[in-house]
């Protein structure tokens, strides 16, 4: 009931928020940014409770690092809100408008989705980002963060909510679910009619559980089993640079490469160098039997490797007979995120772009560019790996829908 | 297993179909149209089995009418396919393309969704329409029609599949689920990874059951509890014409009006005339207490009336205090389909367009225009009443998604 109440409050607030002027929303975003800065000490104090608990629970160092807030990170959150404030508001844009022979004028106008629920894991900055992006696009937001960041999230929401309210935003536009039991997620994703879309941000387990239990429409994000295919005809140095960048520039993120596919003819020439440089950078290689033939000291791969998103300093390598096998492998094991070919050949470049079924397909570039900022959107609320509504990096536009506004002069249907 | 097999076959076929040229797809559509005409007698013979069964089961006359195929209806199906063949193919269109400061060229290209499952009720022409629209847009299709039209559907699919195959379309692109047990729907909507989207077309019960059980993304269609609000300042004759048209031009469809809201000040002046002409056209009126005060002989409404999609010669009438109450009533009871205001007042027209949360919002026109053909799309696969991906009439474009195609020259992320 608590969750239904919060969803209902958000729905009611969304009616007012949805038709609010961009100027008013932008001022509220500025005020929220300022409020975070003004309350940095309170935020860090609240965050310390979460960090202490994580230390007590012996959580890994990488986890602690993601959880921790300091002065610079609070500043980064408020800077993010100011950037969102400065971006153009997609709401109200008329994408197209036409006149029918009977005189009806039909326009397709961008409007907010309504109420967006976001379910996410430990990083507290997601709380501020999500509030900013939803408010900018006129959507009310219901947040369900993890129990491990609950003190941080409560503090962030409290500060931002007050600043927003003082700037004229309906108070109920921002809702935090403080019930961190697992059941609260299922209850949240069943609020059909009150919540318009749910966006899970986190590991494969969270996303699977949400899609299985939701009656509200879901935008799936983030799971990335990404591939690079090295064609027989390519620039060897470019291939090496791109593979290294896609693997080690930031291995823990969804657009990092997980499996390298190499054309059989070029494999003996290129693999020894690539494996050497990867190993020098602490990457563990798991190779197919042919890769082992070329580089006998690596770990043999097992079938599960082709389906694994390591998010770590590990790379699977498979030698393939050519572009057909590469494309089939990717369409079979890929998660539809980011896929790349390294080639000098025009026809194979076009074929790869054409036949790969994924959100983003690259020729001669690192998969690491799949990102709202790198695409030039100025903001991002995750990367959709599904096909409905949004595919690839989601910016402000993806947080809107359309409605048809139709102006008549007494038309009736014959 | 049978259903999973069919879904898997469709998925495999979709890879080839998705990159097929428009010319080849259009020729196949022509061939399928011709094949339906050439086999009219076989189709009618198969349809007779369904009709006989329906007569035996004492199904209502309206049902028999929807089910029955004759020469003209077969001709209408083949004509529909020819029209779809003549429309532009959305697949391959690059919606936008831009260059980043690092030289990456990012393009947003329309591609097929992949495999579309359509679950529908009795009308056999939906079978031919759905196959045509999916094939045109490079999507494989899995059809699950009702048991009551199974002989007709089998005959249509057999004829169209053969013609498509002869024209070079992968044989498995068209799949009919012949298992008409209720469980087969649940099995079909759980084929995540094989089916990309499911579109239920039918009554509220079917749609509810599909959204509750699906793990595959769903596009909800069709439930329309539509309203017309008559403002205090309006053309009385126009209001009467529009209400009459929206109610009786075709009462059994989703864009027909179900509740009329009337401003209190104008109600005594306009309602007697409107009620009279509706009653002359066999419409039963269910009125609120104020409506009864004006026209005492009508049936009193009960609270359920406000939430009911009659799809029949029945209209609920409620007197309201003004545009605020009208908008609140519509946003509370409406299904987000089609809503109209009749007014001469500029500000109230804009306010209604702005604040109503529905797929289509009209000023001074009949709700009956919510339709892909009336919008000028040339085709329609239902009317979406949800907000993700497609909202309002769905044409060919709504059966596609996008992918980012990115051309680089060795870019790596800094």
Hey, are the CB atoms on A114 and B376 less than 8 Å from each other? no
CATH value of B226-369 in 3.40.50.300, 3.20.20.140, 3.40.50.360, 3.40.309.10: 3.40.309.10
Q: Which of B122, B8, B63, B91 is nearest to B396 (CA)?
A: B91
Asked whether the beta carbons of B140 and B10 are under 8 A apart, the reply is yes
Q: Of A106, A111, A389, which is closest to B388 when you measure between CB atoms?
A: A389
Q: Is A241 on the interface with B (CB under 8 A)?
A: yes
Q: Is B361 on the interface with A (CB under 8 A)?
A: yes
- Give the residue-averaged pLDDT of B310-324: 97
**In sequence order, what are the residues at sequence separation of 6 or more whose Cβ sits closer than 8 angstroms to the Cβ of residue B311?**
B251, B252, B253, B254, B256
**ipTM of the complex as predicted:** 0.93
- Cα A214 to Cα A205: distance, rounded to the nearest angstrom: 14
- Cα A125 to Cα A185: distance, rounded to the nearest angstrom: 20
Torsions phi, psi of B108, nearest 5?
-110, 110
For testing the chain B interface, which of A387, A393, A394, A402 should be mutated: the one with the most B CBs within 10 Å? A387
pLDDT, one tens digit per residue, over B144-192 is 999 999 999 999 999 999 999 999 999 999 999 999 888 999 999 999 9
**In sequence order, what are the residues at sequence separation of 6 or more whose Cβ sits closer than 8 angstroms to the Cβ of residue A267?**
A290, A291, A294, A319
Asked whether the beta carbons of B191 and B7 are under 8 A apart, the reply is yes
Please report, for chain A, the start and end positions of each structural domain, with discontinuous segments joined by +: 2-219+394-407, 226-369
Q: Of B246, B375, B404, which is closest to A360 when you measure between CB atoms?
A: B404
- Cα A314 to Cα A7: distance, rounded to the nearest angstrom: 42
Helix (H, G, I), strand (E, B) or coil at A403: strand
Position B92 pLDDT exceeds 90: yes
Q: Of A212, A359, A411, which is closest to B403 when you measure between CB atoms?
A: A359
- Cα A19 to Cα B136: distance, rounded to the nearest angstrom: 38
Helix (H, G, I), strand (E, B) or coil at A8: helix
User: How high is the pLDDT of residue A204?
Assistant: 81
Hey, are the CB atoms on A408 and B363 less than 8 Å from each other? yes
Q: Is B97 on the interface with A (CB under 8 A)?
A: no
Q: Is A387 on the interface with B (CB under 8 A)?
A: yes
Q: Which of B226, B393, B373, B364 is nearest to A404 (CA)?
A: B393
For residues B281, B284, B290, B296, the Cα torsion angle rounded to the nearest 10 degrees is: 80
Q: Of B15, B370, B413, which is closest to A369 when you measure between CB atoms?
A: B413
Residues of B in contact with A413 (CB under 8 A): 245, 249, 366, 368-369, 374
pTM reported for the whole predicted model? 0.93
Q: Of B242, B391, B401, which is closest to A387 when you measure between CB atoms?
A: B401
For testing the chain A interface, which of B245, B257, B357, B383 should be mutated: the one with the most A CBs within 10 Å? B357
CB atoms near residue A347 (< 10 Å): 9
Nearest CA in chain A to B404: A360
Residues of A in contact with B366 (CB under 8 A): 411-413
Q: Which of B58, B9, B16 is nearest to B176 (CA)?
A: B9
Determine whether A280 is exposed, middle or buried from the number of CB atoms within 10 Å of its CB (0-12, 13-18, 19+): exposed
Q: B-contacting residues of A 337-356, CB under 8 Å?
A: 349, 353-355
Asked whether the beta carbons of B206 and B189 are under 8 A apart, the reply is no
B149: enclosing H helix or E strand: none
CA torsion through residues B166, B171, B173, B176, sign: positive
User: How high is the pLDDT of residue B345?
Assistant: 98
Quote the tokens at residue B282.
Answer: 């066999």
Q: B-contacting residues of A 242-271, CB under 8 Å?
A: 242, 244-246, 249
Residues of B in contact with A211 (CB under 8 A): 192, 215
Q: Is A103 on the interface with B (CB under 8 A)?
A: no
A94: enclosing H helix or E strand: strand A94-99
User: Helix H segments across A18-70?
Assistant: 22-38, 40-56, 61-67
Hey, are the CB atoms on B389 and A389 less than 8 Å from each other? yes
Helix (H, G, I), strand (E, B) or coil at A392: strand
**In sequence order, what are the residues at sequence separation of 6 or more whose Cβ sits closer than 8 angstroms to the Cβ of residue B329?**
B227, B259, B261, B306, B318, B320
Q: Is B99 on the interface with A (CB under 8 A)?
A: no
Position B66 pLDDT exceeds 90: no
Distances (CA, A) of B400 to A149, A228, A283, B100, B196: 39, 26, 39, 26, 11
Determine whether B61 is exposed, middle or buried from the number of CB atoms within 10 Å of its CB (0-12, 13-18, 19+): exposed
pLDDT, one tens digit per residue, over B243-253 is 999 999 999 88
Least confident window among B88-102, B237-251, B258-272, B377-391: B377-391
Q: Which of A97, A105, A190 is nearest to A411 (CA)?
A: A105
Q: What is the mean pLDDT of chain B?
A: 95
Q: Percent of chain B scored above 90 by pLDDT?
A: 90
Q: Of A111, A249, A364, which is closest to B409 when you measure between CB atoms?
A: A364
Q: Of B219, B238, B410, which is closest to A242 when you measure between CB atoms?
A: B410
Name the one residue in this structure whose structure tokens are 């797809």. Answer: B25
pLDDT, one tens digit per residue, over B273-307 is 999 999 999 999 999 999 999 999 999 999 999 99
Q: Is B238 on the interface with A (CB under 8 A)?
A: yes
Nearest CA in chain A to B97: A375
Q: Of B211, B215, B388, which is closest to A197 when you measure between CB atoms?
A: B388
pLDDT, one tens digit per residue, over A282-302 is 999 999 999 999 999 999 999
Position B122 pLDDT exceeds 80: no
CA torsion through residues A339, A344, A349, A352, sign: negative
For testing the chain A interface, which of B243, B347, B388, B398 should be mutated: the one with the most A CBs within 10 Å? B388
Tally of residues, chain A: 414
Hey, are the CB atoms on A15 and B100 less than 8 Å from each other? no
Ranges of residues in chain A with a pLDDT under 70 are: none
Nearest CA in chain B to A213: B215
User: How high is the pLDDT of residue A122?
Assistant: 72
CA distance B169 to chain A (A): 17
Nearest CA in chain A to B235: A410
Torsions phi, psi of A164, nearest 5?
-65, -45
CA distance A241 to chain B (A): 7
Residues of A in contact with B245 (CB under 8 A): 412-413
Chain A to chain B Cβ contacts (< 8 Å): 192
Residues forming a β-bridge with A199? A118
CA distance B370 to chain A (A): 9
- Cα B317 to Cα A346: distance, rounded to the nearest angstrom: 66
pLDDT, one tens digit per residue, over B45-55 is 999 999 999 99
Q: Of B245, B375, B406, which is closest to A106 when you measure between CB atoms?
A: B375
For testing the chain A interface, which of B199, B376, B404 should be mutated: the one with the most A CBs within 10 Å? B404
The CATH number that domain B2-219+394-407 falls under is 3.40.605.10
User: How high is the pLDDT of residue A65?
Assistant: 87
User: How high is the pLDDT of residue A277?
Assistant: 97
Name the one residue in this structure whose structure tokens are 């004229």. Answer: A168
């Amino acid at each position: 009931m608590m969750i239904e109440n919060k969803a209902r409050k958000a729905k009611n607030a969304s009616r007012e928020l949805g038709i609010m002027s961009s100027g008013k929303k932008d001022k509220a975003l500025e005020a929220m940014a300022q409020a975070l800065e003004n309350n940095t000490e309170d935020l860090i104090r609240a965050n310390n409770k979460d960090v202490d608990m994580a230390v007590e629970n012996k959580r890994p160092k990488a986890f602690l690092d993601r959880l921790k807030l300091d002065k610079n990170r609070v500043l980064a959150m408020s800077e993010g809100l100011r950037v969102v404030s400065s971006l153009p508001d997609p709401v109200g844009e008329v994408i197209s408008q036409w006149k029918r022979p009977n005189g009806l004028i039909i326009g397709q106008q961008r409007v907010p989705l309504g109420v967006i629920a976001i379910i996410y894991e430990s990083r507290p900055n997601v709380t501020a980002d999500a509030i900013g992006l939803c408010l900018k696009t006129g959507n009310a937001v219901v947040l369900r963060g993890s129990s491990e960041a609950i003190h941080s999230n409560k503090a962030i929401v409290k500060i931002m909510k007050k600043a927003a309210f003082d700037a004229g935003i309906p108070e109920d536009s921002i809702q935090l679910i403080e019930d961190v039991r697992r059941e609260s997620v299922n209850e949240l994703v069943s609020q059909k009619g009150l919540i318009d879309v749910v966006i899970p941000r986190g590991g494969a387990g969270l996303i699977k559980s949400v899609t299985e239990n939701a009656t509200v429409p879901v935008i799936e994000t983030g799971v990335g089993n990404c591939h690079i295919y090295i064609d027989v005809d390519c620039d060897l140095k470019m291939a090496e640079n791109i593979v290294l960048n896609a693997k080690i520039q930031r291995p823990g993120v969804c657009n990092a490469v997980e499996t390298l596919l190499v054309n059989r003819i070029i494999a003996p020439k290129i693999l020894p160098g690539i494996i050497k440089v990867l190993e020098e950078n602490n990457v563990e290689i798991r190779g197919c039997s042919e890769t082992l033939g070329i580089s006998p000291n690596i770990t043999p791969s097992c079938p599960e490797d082709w389906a694994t998103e390591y998010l770590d300093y590990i790379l699977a390598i498979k030698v393939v007979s050519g572009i057909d096998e590469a494309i089939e492998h990717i369409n079979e094991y890929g998660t539809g995120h980011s896929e790349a070919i390294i080639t000098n050949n025009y026809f194979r470049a076009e074929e790869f772009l054409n036949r790969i079924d994924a959100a983003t397909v690259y020729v001669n570039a690192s998969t690491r560019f799949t990102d709202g900022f790198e695409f030039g959107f100025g903001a991002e609320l995750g990367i959709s790996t599904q096909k409905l509504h949004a595919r690839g990096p989601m910016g402000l536009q993806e947080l809107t829908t359309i409605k048809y506004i139709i102006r008549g002069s007494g038309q009736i249907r014959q």
